[in-house]
Amino acid sequence: MLANKLTDYVDEISRLETAYDVFRYARRLGNDFGASRFSILTLDKQTSAISDLGVVNNWDPELIAVYDENGLSKASPVLGHFETGNRVMTYDMDTMLQERAPESAALARELFNDFDMKYGACCPVNDGKGNRGGLVFSGNELVLNPDDGAMLHLLSNYLYDHLVQISATSVTRSEMPSLSGREMDCLSHAALGKTSKETARDLELSDHTVTHYLALACKKLEAVNRVHAVAKALRLGLLS
């Protein structure tokens, strides 16, 4: 049972050193609970765009772009729960979308179906200074019993607080670039000296897609090329 691994999960969090370590941990944690996607969000910014709220996530750029372009963050039951809730909230897509207006619900349903996000778990969190945030895990196989839900919520709080501590050692959260999981994957491979072709083979992507992710990472890091981007990511603690 997953509950038997609680001590191991907590101990591993204490050993995470970079935002990329947090990304890999959260991705594996979600997979262990049946989730294929996750997003770690902070609510201390004057915006509702997922592209700005997401600190670490493995959402596809297309998913984030469509979500923000259609203003789906507005009246989002998930963000609403992060703002006011204190307990883990599990949901299925059809039930949750009943809280949205019909047009918004139709757009969200199509998007979540396309990206296999039928079920979800929302874990409200706070850092040591009381700043609110949240972790949301989603997938087509994510079904939690009460004990698993409580465990996931506990780990989410530990993980969020640790991520804030990692960020604080090098840069304030308002200055921390928000890189997607794929952007960090490609940067990590670039840090190992791998070419776009080698990275594409390892990640099962096209050369063009890898180049695109690296270009996005360079833009977010305000770097002139991938070597500069890797150097800045290392300095900011995004990579180890």
pLDDT (0 to 100) of residue 169 = 65
pLDDT (0 to 100) of residue 200 = 93
Q: How many CB atoms lie within 10 A of CB 126?
A: 16
How confident is the model over 92-102, as pLDDT tens digits? 999 989 989 99
Contacts of 65 by beta carbon, 8 Å cutoff, 6+ apart: 51
Residue 138 is classified by DSSP as E
The CA-to-CA distance between both ends of the chain, in Å, stands at: 32
Token match 């262990």: residue? 32
Token match 């997953």: residue? 2
CA dihedral (101, 104, 106, 112) positive or negative: negative
Token match 């765009």: residue? 49
pLDDT (0 to 100) of residue 219 = 86
pLDDT (0 to 100) of residue 233 = 84
Q: Nearest to residue 76, comparing CAs of 57, 45, 53, 60?
A: 53
* Structure tokens given for 93: 């897509």
- pTM, full prediction: 0.74
Helices 6-14, 146-168: inter-axial angle, 10-degree rounding? 10
- Asked if residue 18 lies in contact with residue 166, where contact means CB atoms within 8 angstroms, the answer is yes
- Asked if residue 162 lies in contact with residue 125, where contact means CB atoms within 8 angstroms, the answer is no
- Asked if residue 135 lies in contact with residue 40, where contact means CB atoms within 8 angstroms, the answer is yes
Beta strands across the sheet bearing 89-92: 54-57, 37-42, 132-139, 119-126, 89-92
Question: What residue ranges of the chain have pLDDT lower than 70?
Answer: 1-3, 44-47, 169-176, 240
Full set of structural domains in the chain with CATH:
2-174 (3.30.450.80), 181-235 (1.10.10.10)
